[in-house]
Amino acid sequence: MSGHSKWSSIKHKKAKEDAKKGKVFTRIIKEITIATRLGGKDPMSNPRLRLAIDKAKSNNMPSDNIERAIKKGAGELPGVTYEEFTYEAYGPGGAAILIEVVTDNKNRTVSELRHLLSKYGGNLAETGSVSWMFEKKGFITIPRSAVDEDALLEIVLEAGGEDMKAEGDVYEIITEPEQFQEFLDKLKSKNLSLESSEISMMPTSQIPLEGKKAQQLLNLIDKIEDHDDVQNIHSNFDIDENELEESP
């Protein structure tokens, strides 16, 4: 399995735990706030904000929370000023890692990430040393129980999707980022049940890991993902599915 598919599986397993910790709402609020600040408060002209609002609604976030986050991002309400950064790192076995953060204190965040990486077998890398191994893509998952594969393939081809494959209990669909929102709208017009949708950094090649190195990497990514300032993680590892099932 690719790093992206594998991490998608890990995130799916962690979803309920994260929801209990309130982390899902916190991350979505940060995304709405910064998307509004950078692109304006009209979701029709701000695709990033529109996607964040869709995610908020799919996670049953109250509309008042969404509105407050938008107003804070637009400067209409007082609040913390967030900035976004992407850090590059190497994990156990030489796996490349991209860490996307939204923070109100860059120095604190980078210091804490450096500590986590050092403690769990990784290290920060110089800018550009890892990012070239990834490319930005639209990434959508649909439960396999929701639609027949041939029927979905026809819809994907008609809508201009780049690739589709069955992976575990979902279909994974890839699009060009520029076509992502239009493609998403076409899928929704077919009343398809989407499990997830995001603009993601996908690895162009994978590094196979097994045994101790695989477990160390999964543990490292889990620790980084639990950091309050981390929004997304992308990696290029390739691990046998059994490693995931056995991981803590």
Q: Among 71-80, 148-157, 193-202, whose mean pLDDT is lowest?
A: 193-202
Total domains in the chain come to: 3
Regarding whether 199 and 140 lie in a shared domain, the answer is yes
Residue 232, φ and ψ in degrees, nearest 5: -145, 150
- Check whether residue 212 and residue 98 sit in a common domain: yes
Residues of the chain with pLDDT > 70, as a percent, come to: 88
- CATH number of the domain at 164, please: 3.30.70.980
pLDDT attached to residue 3? 47
59 and 149 in one domain?
no
pLDDT digits (tens, 9 = 90+) for 203-231: 988 888 888 998 899 899 889 988 999 99
Query: Residue 187 contacts by C-beta under 8 Å, 6 or more apart in sequence?
Result: 140, 142, 155, 159, 194
Asked if 94 and 184 sit in the same domain, the reply is no
Which of 73, 105, 121 marks a domain boundary?
73
Q: What is the pTM of this model?
A: 0.83
Rank 113-122, 215-224, 233-242 by mean pLDDT and report only the highest: 113-122
**Owning domain of residue 121:** 83-132+204-246
Both 128 and 153 in one domain: the answer is no
Rounded to an integer, what distance in angstroms lies between the CA atom of residue 233 and that of residue 235? 7
Answer yes or no: is 164 within a domain.
yes
Decide if 115 is inside a domain: yes
Q: Cα 149 to the chain's mean position, in Å?
A: 24
Instruction: Please report whether residue 1 resides in a domain.
Output: no
